[in-house]
Structure formats: C-alpha cells, structure tokens
C-alpha cells in the first residue's frame, strides 16, 4: 500500500539554518564549515561532497554541522546565497547610471564578460549553479535572483524606451537575463573557443532585442 499522491509537487520550502549561531565561537565554526564545503565542492563537486568530510575538514563533529544546517542541501544553498548577494551589488552598480543605448551596450557587454569569467574561474560557482535545475530550493533562489537582476535591466529599458509597454519590457528583461545565464552555462561546457563564440553571439542577440525599435 503506497501513496499514490505526488508529494513532490508542493513547494518545498528552503531550509534555513536550524539554529543561527549566536556566539562568537559558533559563528567562527560555521565559517569553517562553509569554507570546508566550498573547498570540497571545488575539488569534487557538490554531489560527491560528503557531510562527514565537511565536518572532518572543518575540525568539528558531524553533530555540530547538523546543528546549523538542517541538511546537505542547506550547506550548498548557504554558499549559493553568498554568491548571489555579492553579484547583485555589482550588477546594480553597473546598470544604475546607464543613460543611452551606447551606455547599455557597453555595460551589458561588460556584465556578460564578468559573469562568463566568473564561471570560468570559480569551480564552486559553476558546480552550484549547474545543479540548479535539479534542486527545487536552488531553482527558486536562482529565479528570485534572476528576477531581481532583471529588474535593474527593466529600469534601464523603461528609461530608454518610455513609450513601450512596461509588461513587455519586464518580460524581455527577464528572458534576456535568463538566456544569459543559460548561455554562459552552455559556453563553459564546450571548448573555450566555441564558448567565446557563443557568448559573443549571445551578446549580439540580447542587445538586438534590448535595443529594438
């Protein structure tokens, strides 16, 4: 007798730290845990990362690890959250004072290059975001992040094309942004030369759309 219902479809809530570290000592230990996890992900990928190994390398017991992270995904999620927070500021700054088409062209091109470079250089980031589709919580984080970033782009578009339908601009910005993330992920999974070509092609395609009409 098994469940015939599909419990998966419900919104799996993101697991927040089981208990926020309130003492200095534990805050440092949590940092060590995250650093250990980051190193292990860089070496082996998040899938091969073992919780026991994270604990060992951080110099804490497995129990302590689970005191602050409800499960394995939460560890990865915590790292992912840091990256998004960092990049958000960078993106906001780059797009804030774009005033004309040429400005957008330059700022956008730079942003894509930075993003591409980050993925090429950061194995942890690459690993985390490539698992994004499979993990519901990460997928939600990525979507939320993408929406937030797309909003900066939307703001620019509304400035440059005040006559256009706002909803359409929002859709365009969101789509272009997501396509960019997909393009970069694609680019790093083929050889470097083709990757560069793909990123260039994406830039052209995105800008054509952003500056249309």
Q: Which residues bind DNA (CB under 7 A)?
A: 19-26, 29, 49-52, 60-64, 66-67, 70-73
**CA triplet 133, 137, 143: central angle to 5 degrees?**
65
Q: Which does residue 120 touch among DNA, a copy of itself, none (CB within 5 to 8 A, set by kind)?
A: none
Q: Which does residue 24 touch among a copy of itself, DNA, none (CB within 5 to 8 A, set by kind)?
A: DNA
CB of 36 within 8 A of CB of 78?
A: no
CB of 58 within 8 A of CB of 66?
A: no
**CA triplet 192, 197, 198: central angle to 5 degrees?**
95
Q: Which does residue 143 touch among DNA, a copy of itself, none (CB within 5 to 8 A, set by kind)?
A: a copy of itself
- Is residue 201 at the binding interface for a copy of itself, with CB under 8 A as the rule? yes
Is the CA virtual torsion 188, 194, 200, 204 positive or negative? negative
Q: Which does residue 176 touch among DNA, a copy of itself, none (CB within 5 to 8 A, set by kind)?
A: a copy of itself
Q: Site for a copy of itself (CB under 8 A): which residue of 48, 80, 90, 145?
A: 48
- Number of other CB atoms surrounding residue 65 within 10 Å: 22
Q: From the CB of 58, what's the least distance to a copy of itself, in Å? A: 14
- Is residue 208 at the binding interface for a copy of itself, with CB under 8 A as the rule? yes
The CA–CA distances, whole Å, from 94 to 32, 66, 111, 140 equal: 32, 39, 7, 24
Joined together, the tokens standing for residue 91 give 């993106």
- Is residue 171 at the binding interface for a copy of itself, with CB under 8 A as the rule? yes
Residue (45 or 103) nearer to DNA, CB:
45
Q: Site for a copy of itself (CB under 8 A): which residue of 15, 21, 26, 45?
A: 45
């Amino acid at each position: 007798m098994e469940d015939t219902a599909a419990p998966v479809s419900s919104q799996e809530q993101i697991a927040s730290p089981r208990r926020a570290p309130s003492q200095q000592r534990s805050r440092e230990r949590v940092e060590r845990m995250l650093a250990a996890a980051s190193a292990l992900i860089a070496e082996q990928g998040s899938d091969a990362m073992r919780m026991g190994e994270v604990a060992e390398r951080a110099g804490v017991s497995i129990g302590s690890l689970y005191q602050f992270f409800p499960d394995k995904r939460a560890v990865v999620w915590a790292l992912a959250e840091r990256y998004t927070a960092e990049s958000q500021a960078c993106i906001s700054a780059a797009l804030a004072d774009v005033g004309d088409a040429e400005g957008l062209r330059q700022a956008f091109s730079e942003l894509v290059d930075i993003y591409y470079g980050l993925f090429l250089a950061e194995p942890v980031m690459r690993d985390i975001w490539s698992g994004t589709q499979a993990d519901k919580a990460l997928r939600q984080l990525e979507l939320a992040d993408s929406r937030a970033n797309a909003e900066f782009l939307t703001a620019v578009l509304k400035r440059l094309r005040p006559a256009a339908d706002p909803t359409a601009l929002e859709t365009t910005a969101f789509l272009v942004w997501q396509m960019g993330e997909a393009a970069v992920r694609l680019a790093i999974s083929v050889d470097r030369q083709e990757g560069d070509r793909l990123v260039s092609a994406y830039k052209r395609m995105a800008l054509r759309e952003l500056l249309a009409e």
